[in-house]
Amino acid sequence: MRILNIVGARPNLVKIAPLLRVMRSHPEIEAILVHTGQHYDEKLSDVFFRQMGIPEPDVNLEVGSGSHAWQTAEILRKIEPVLIERKPDCVLVVGDVNSTVAASLAAAKLGIPVVHVEAGLRSFDRTMPEEINRIVTDALSDFLFVTEEDAIENLIHEGKRREQIHFVGNVMIDALKQFLPIAQKSKIADELGLASVKDQPYALLTLHRPSNVDSAETLAALLAAITEIASEIPVIFPVHPRTQDRLRAAGSKSLNRIRFVPPLGYLDFLCLMSRARLVLTDSGGIQEETTALGVPCLTLRENTERPVTVTEGTNELVGQDPAKIVQAGRAILNGQTKKGRIPRYWDGHASERIIEILLRECKVAGTAGVPAGILRPQS
């Protein structure tokens, strides 16, 4: 069975790593890795590949940055010849980036089954480009692997058949459980002067969503609120490349107490996150990871596509209201932490379930060995 796996951005690498590990344990699977180059920073991406044991991509499309429309179109243009040449039995996509939707569309038009890992997540906010990507990818997918029960309802409501949907757990948590013991050996806390959590508790911050960083006024208000929290506890802020250029416009007054550090590799960041007293973020994946780690998380958004992190986990939505952010942050620092639990199937074995289902279902459905004629370019 030939599975063509698509990655395009750093979060995809975290999700694909455990899947590739399981695929490599099955001699009957040929795993092909395609990196679209949607987001590629040599320092960051190379660190992720090395740290997570991901093999070098078999194909790198080297698409690069651009508008959503340009990037999606360029991936479509460049991936079609790869699909025709490689003749995969299915195309596996993860997450919700432009690479996800573009590869799904190209595969669907060539009659190749599409497998979506992390399907059915919905913020119900179509101003988020990722939400459009999720909806379109799921509409095109033949196999839908979900992380939480809300996702099943979303997909059925959108017309997917129940037999296409598989509740398997969370591959992000597979990666976390695999790499956490290694991450705990990281020296990043020593390097940042945070060697002892008891002596030096800290908070961890990430910001990258356009709704938070594209407006200088919004970003300044958020940083002012976080500065208030930083007056009580050090706040470590690994600055996302998207955010770096926008910080200057936010005004220096709000930046006094926050500790800015360069972007971190997966293991260093996981180490810091696991030991943090509090995490503030607008990242979907970090909401999941903090829930798995039992670390309090404040999400600086009005909505989340991962509601289980709120209903069952340690996550709280605080939006962009500075007063609400400060109040929630101080409550956590004063010991009023939310007691969460780890959601069902977030046990480190989601990847194994996915591959087991694919091997079984494709054999039954006869999708393994897609006829070559189906892969001819359409007129």
Q: What is the pLDDT of residue 370?
A: 43
Q: What is the pLDDT of residue 142?
A: 97
Helix (H, G, I), strand (E, B) or coil at 340: coil
State yes or no: pLDDT of 369 exceeds 60.
Answer: no
Burial 75-99 (b: 16+ CB within 10 A, else e): bbebbbebbeebbbbbbbbbbbbbb
State yes or no: pLDDT of 162 exceeds 60.
Answer: yes
Query: How many Å apart are CA 167 and CA 10, to the nearest integer?
Result: 24
State yes or no: pLDDT of 271 exceeds 50.
Answer: yes
208 is an active site residue: yes
Radius of gyration of the chain (CA): 21
pLDDT per position as a tens digit, 227-264: 999 999 999 999 976 687 778 666 555 566 889 999 89
Q: What is the pLDDT of residue 377?
A: 36
State the average pLDDT for the chain.
Answer: 90
Q: What is the pLDDT of residue 281?
A: 97
- Alpha carbon separation from 242 to 85, 132, 254, 279, 365 (Å, rounded): 35, 20, 18, 19, 43
Phi/psi at 244 (5° precision): -55, -50
Specify whether the CB–CB gap between 246 and 156 falls below 8 A: no
To the nearest 10°, report the CA torsion of 348, 354, 360, 365: 170
Query: How many Å apart are CA 194 and CA 275, to the nearest integer?
Result: 10
Q: What is the pLDDT of residue 247?
A: 80
Work out the average pLDDT over 41-55: 71
Specify whether the CB–CB gap between 211 and 218 falls below 8 A: yes
State yes or no: pLDDT of 375 exceeds 60.
Answer: no
Please name the residue ranges forming H helices in the chain: 10-24, 42-51, 68-86, 98-109, 129-140, 149-157, 171-183, 188-191, 210-213, 216-230, 241-250, 266-275, 284-293, 308-311, 322-333, 350-365
State yes or no: pLDDT of 36 exceeds 50.
Answer: yes
Q: What is the pLDDT of residue 195?
A: 65
**In terms of Cα–Cα distance, which of 132, 139, 98 is closest to 116?**
139
User: How many residues belong to the chain?
Assistant: 379
Catalytic, out of 35, 39, 157, 208: 208
Contacts of 364 by beta carbon, 8 Å cutoff, 6+ apart: none
- Alpha carbon separation from 174 to 91, 144, 304 (Å, rounded): 21, 18, 21
Quickly state the pLDDT bin for 65 (edges 50, 70, 90).
confident
Contacts of 333 by beta carbon, 8 Å cutoff, 6+ apart: 229, 232, 233, 277, 278
Q: What is the pLDDT of residue 51?
A: 78
Lowest average pLDDT, out of 11-25, 71-85, 210-224, goes to 210-224
pLDDT per position as a tens digit, 176-232: 999 999 999 999 988 998 865 555 799 999 998 888 988 888 998 999 999 999 999
State yes or no: pLDDT of 372 exceeds 50.
Answer: no
State yes or no: pLDDT of 46 exceeds 80.
Answer: no
Lowest average pLDDT, out of 35-44, 117-126, 337-346, 370-379, goes to 370-379
Q: What is the pLDDT of residue 42?
A: 57
pTM: 0.92
State yes or no: pLDDT of 376 exceeds 50.
Answer: no
DSSP 235: E
More confident residue, 64 or 28: 28
State yes or no: pLDDT of 8 exceeds 60.
Answer: yes
Specify whether the CB–CB gap between 315 and 309 falls below 8 A: yes
Query: How many Å apart are CA 126 and CA 289, to the nearest integer?
Result: 24
Q: What is the pLDDT of residue 7?
A: 95
Question: What 3 state SS string does 30-64 have?
Answer: EEEEEECCCCCCHHHHHHHHHHCCCCCCCEECCCC
Q: What is the pLDDT of residue 251?
A: 58
More confident residue, 319 or 361: 319
